[in-house]
Structure 1
Amino acid sequence: MSWSTVHDYALRERYAEVHDLAEWSPWMPFESAIPSAPREPGVYLLREPLTGIIRYVGMAGERAAGGRPQGLYGRLKIYRNGRGAISGFGEEALDRALADPQWLEQQLHDLRDHGPKRAQDWAREAVLRLGLEVSWSVTPDTNDARYLETQTLTLLRTTGIWNR
């Protein structure tokens, strides 16, 4: 994980501690990373690419849909598809979009020109507008994922992450 864009020394130290907690994937653009996301449980980090600041820490368990485990892939796909609008990161993304007058103006323009959209579509657009990058660490099971998430959140709680 590269922290070279983070200018705050104390923050870089925290990120180094997070890096040492687990084996993390390279950072990738959120949307293009989803097809390669593992179907195992684990923890994911979302960061702003320009500043390198981590904005969200989440975990995915071993949920199965249609008999096939979904893991990290399933969790990230839920956000990209807009189905996670009222949970965790999806809610935070939608709250931030709804506080952006330019985004709202564009949505009103689209409404007038093309008619209404489903809430799921608004949530998907709210997530994608952030342009975040993702990194993850695979864990053996849900309990290990929960433990890694707790350790990571403990280190990052005071660094401006969006987790509530």
Structure 2
Amino acid sequence: MAFDKAWAEVLATHPDGWSRWGTFRSQAHLAPASPGVYVVRNDDLEVAYVGVAHARTLKARLQDYRVGTDLNGLAERAIDAALGDPDWILERVHSMQVGGPPRRARQWMREALDRSELQLATCCCDDGVSAQHLEKSVIAILRSRDALWNQR
């Protein structure tokens, strides 16, 4: 219930601008080529992260996560959560012990994001400055209601 109320408040920041929730991989693939804000929630429907694409497009920013080329922000938090799960680590160690190849950092990151079963919603903005303002507004709304992975 608290999430529904908070999300309604977020939706009001940019009426008709937010996408529907979808899996991280599908939404990242379909993201628009414009500046904007993205909100990520976990499988418990708790908002985990709020991010912004202000210097690049949403599509480019989310693609970096999807293919494993950006180890900052959301990806860093996902890998931190995965590294806190002994079973996840043991599965990877076992894979290497039975002859699997060592993984590169980007492979670990993709696996950590997949492990998180994240959902994503996006909102396009006219420019990078308005995207940064929207991100700050969304974080302010959600910070008091959810445990965000955002460090700022």
TM-score, normalised by the number of residues in structure 1: 0.85
Distance in 1 between residues matched to 2:7 and 2:20, nearest whole Å? 14
Identity, in percent, stands at 37
1:55 aligns with 2:48: yes
Partner of 2:61: 75
Following TM superposition, by how much is the alpha carbon of 1:56 offset from its aligned partner in structure 2, in angstroms? 0.7
Query: Does the 8 Å contact 1:25/1:135 carry over to 2?
Result: yes
Aligned residues: 147
Unpaired runs of 5+ residues, structure 2, are: none
Partner of 1:68: none
TM-score, normalised by the number of residues in structure 2: 0.91
1:12 aligns with 2:4: yes
Query: Does the 8 Å contact 1:25/1:136 carry over to 2?
Result: yes
1:130 aligns with 2:123: no
Query: Does the 8 Å contact 1:80/1:128 carry over to 2?
Result: no
Unpaired runs of 5+ residues, structure 1, are: 1-8, 64-70
Partner of 1:120: 106
Task: Report Cα offsets for 1:77-99 as digits up to 9, x if no partner.
Answer: 111112222x1111100100111
1:38 aligns with 2:32: yes
Q: CA RMSD in A?
A: 1.2
Partner of 1:109: 94
Distance in 2 between residues matched to 1:127 and 1:84, nearest whole Å? 12
Partner of 2:80: 95
Following TM superposition, by how much is the alpha carbon of 1:43 offset from its aligned partner in structure 2, in angstroms? 0.2
Following TM superposition, by how much is the alpha carbon of 1:35 offset from its aligned partner in structure 2, in angstroms? 2.2
Query: Does the 8 Å contact 1:40/1:62 carry over to 2?
Result: no
1:143 to 120, 129, 132: 129
Following TM superposition, by how much is the alpha carbon of 1:115 offset from its aligned partner in structure 2, in angstroms? 2.4
Q: Secondary structure at the match of 1:24?
A: coil
- Larger RCO (alpha carbons 8 Å, 6+ apart): 2
Task: Report Cα offsets for 1:96-121 as digits up to 9, x if no partner.
Answer: 01110110011101112212111111
Following TM superposition, by how much is the alpha carbon of 1:124 offset from its aligned partner in structure 2, in angstroms? 1.1
